[in-house]
Amino acid sequence: MNVMTTSPGMKPGVYLKLDNEAYHAGPGISKSGLWTIDQKSPAHYKFPAPRDEDTTQAIAAKDLGTATHVAVLEPERFETAVHRGPADRRGNKWTDAEEYCRIEKKTLLVSSAYDSLLALRDTIHADPWLNKIITSGDGVNEASGFWIDPETGELCRCRPDRYRRDIKLILDIKTAASAHPDAFARAAINFGYHSQEAFYTDGWQACGQPVEAFAFLVLEKANNASKFASPYAFGVYELPPSIVEEGRAIMRKSLARYAECRKANRWPSYTEGVQELSFKRWNYRLTQAPDALDEPLPE
């Protein structure tokens, strides 16, 4: 097996003080990369379309995500780490607030988003079980793990939101239009959360951190998705082992494909050559759908 050599300063292991930007800019393949390969193609992973991250909407979404993690995972730091800005992002008041937050290294939110996060924080931490999971015990927030996959020799990485060493639990935070269990079950399949649980669990254990439980804390956003709103609904869910195993199979298949592409330095898109499409029986409305017995046997 051709084991990949890691870059200097990024050896396999757990990094406690690696910031989010450095983690995402670091080496190795993540769950999101493998999910892109599965849902789209290796080309979509290797040559992603450029994203305009400087738009007001993109900046606001990023800042809200950062502030949400502080509110949930470090509730005592929220008032000092996040600044309550003006009602909107226009004019000199907002410009002055941006400069202040740049100097003080704070996250800036419009006043309504700030107030909604305060209310969400208090609602979540009023739940005795959640408060205990987040604020007590031997835990670490947003640590980064890097490991060598033994089957492919590829460097992989993950970044759990919270890990409790004493009870061997990973807690992952998600935001959603609905935190209803049926809605989150659909989201788990659509966005690959079952694959994330498998990949994170396997990877974290490869880093020497045992995992015996994995839970998702799902936060319900307001309709405009730029803040949270009453009743500040949330749910805590675990996935059944059977669907996690399906997610693990997706990750293994995608990781093998990634390793092949890297070795050959070829990153194909959807197809190579000519591929015949397949159609469901209900696509045939005016003609008879072919029977499986009528199909020619493979040569």
Residues 176-226 have pLDDT tens digits of: 999 999 999 999 999 999 999 999 999 999 999 999 999 999 999 987 667
162-164 vs 213-220, strand pairing mode: unpaired
Structure tokens at 23: 């983690």
Domain definitions of the chain by residue range: 58-126, 137-263
pLDDT at 125 (0 to 100) = 97
| Structure confidence by residue, pLDDT tens digits, 152-170 | 999 999 999 999 999 999 9
Model confidence, pTM: 0.89
| Structure confidence by residue, pLDDT tens digits, 42-99 | 999 999 988 776 688 888 889 999 999 999 999 999 999 999 999 999 999 999 999 9
297: confidence class by pLDDT, cuts 50, 70, 90: low
Q: What angle do CA 188, 189, 194 make, to 5 degrees?
A: 60
**Strand intervals (E) in the chain:** 13-15, 82-84, 107-109, 139-141, 144-148, 155-158, 162-164, 169-176, 213-220, 234-237
Q: What angle do CA 190, 263, 35 make, to 5 degrees?
A: 5
H/E stretch holding 136 reads none
pLDDT at 3 (0 to 100) = 34
2: confidence class by pLDDT, cuts 50, 70, 90: very low
273: confidence class by pLDDT, cuts 50, 70, 90: confident
Helix ranges (H only) for 105-240 are 111-125, 128-135, 181-190, 193-206
The fold of the 137-263 domain, in CATH, is Lambda Exonuclease; Chain A (3.90.320)
Mean pLDDT value of segment 256-265: 97
CA distance 170 to 172: 6
Tell the burial category of 245 from Cβ atoms under 10 Å away from its Cβ (0-12, 13-18, 19+): exposed
Question: Would you say 219 and 175 are in contact if contact means Cβ atoms under 8 Å apart?
Answer: yes
145: confidence class by pLDDT, cuts 50, 70, 90: very high
What CA–CA distances, in Å, run from 149 to 3, 30, 158, 161? 9, 12, 12, 22
CA distance 13 to 284: 54
SS3 of residue 176 by DSSP? strand
